[in-house]
Amino acid sequence: MKDLSCWGIFREQTHSPGRETDDTEILRLTAKHLEAVGFPVDLKAAEELGHLTESRPRCVFLMCEDVPVLRQLRDWQAEGVCTVNDPLAVLNTYRDRMIQHFAEAAVPFIESRIVSTAEPHPALAAPVWVKRGDVHNTQEGDVVFATSEDTVRSALGKLAERGIPRAVLQPHVEGDLIKFYGIGLGEPDGEPPWFRWFYHKGQRVAGHPFDPRELARLVRRAAATLGLEIYGGDVIVTGSGNVVLLDLNAWPSFALYRDEAAVAIAQYLTLRFRGGS
């Protein structure tokens, strides 16, 4: 019988600020549904992988994001372990890499400028968002809304003090902030097989009109460019109806759709791990 042993790897706590419980629960629930269809599943902390002496599993589904762990999983992948998401795809969500990949593939993305945190920069029109240039938001100061050039300098200086060499500057775009979740890629130029979107809480929604199918197709194209199979992110819908992609992440918490998403993820992983897609 084909080996169906699986490990699920939790996201590091430093990468789950305010989302530790949600991130944990989506992985646990996915594991429960995989076990129900015959997969033996062990759940592991990312920090455990470097100290494990037991044999490797046949399949890994992962939420971890630290570079050393992703490198280790890439080595396992090269030796035949099936991984979802692909560790390289997770690494591609680091902002500096993501911007480069989107530019090369002509994926529409918010105007983004990569700058050194330690060197002077030309005058910039505020307001802008100052974001660390690698991982997503892990603590206060990783993402700063800067309303003046002094605030930009201060944010960059604090990143430099923390040893973060590069930052990304993005203009502030007015509009309705929408979050989305996706599972699977589907057909090129099509929509993801499973896709949900919702307005981010804590905003006054103007209700700017847009085409949800256009949103889904944009997300599918962006995910395919990075190699992501389970993903989420953010867009802004402007007053003119333009959909502006702000961010794309690997395996989000799926918090508002956890029960539904866990079933869909488990079904998708079943096909992947059994060689069906």
Domain boundaries, the chain: 6-85+256-273, 95-109+173-250, 113-171
Fold annotation for 6-85+256-273: Rossmann fold (3.40.50)
Strand order through the sheet with 82-84: 41-44, 6-9, 59-62, 82-84
* 60 beta partners: 7, 83
Among 14-18, 68-72, 179-183, 239-243, the minimum mean pLDDT is found in 14-18
Range of lowest pLDDT (27-36, 184-193, 226-235, 237-246): 184-193
Tell me what the mean pLDDT of segment 45-49 comes to: 90
Question: Residues 189, 195, 197, CA angle at the centre, nearest 5°?
Answer: 115
Query: Is 3.40.190 the CATH number for 113-171?
Result: no
pLDDT at 1 > cutoff 60: no
Q: Give the helix ranges, DSSP H, for the chain.
A: 20-36, 67-78, 87-91, 95-105, 149-161, 212-226, 258-273
Q: Helix %, strand %, coil % for the chain, to 5?
A: 35, 25, 40
Task: State the average pLDDT for the chain.
Answer: 92
Query: Of the candidates 43, 36, 71, 38, which has an alpha carbon nearest to the alpha carbon of residue 57?
Result: 43
Per the structure block, which two tokens stand in for 96? 């500096």
Mean pLDDT of 200-216: 94
**pLDDT of amino acid 242:** 93
Residue 132: pLDDT band (50, 70, 90) is very high
Do 95 and 132 touch, CB atoms closer than 8 A? yes
pTM to 2 decimals? 0.93
Q: Which CATH architecture has domain 95-109+173-250?
A: 2-Layer Sandwich (3.30)
Q: What is the mean pLDDT of residues 92-99?
A: 96
Q: What is the predicted pLDDT for the residue at 126?
A: 79
250 contacts 265 by C-beta, under 8 angstroms: no
Residue 187, pLDDT score: 87
In the predicted model, is pLDDT for residue 17 greater than 80? Answer: no
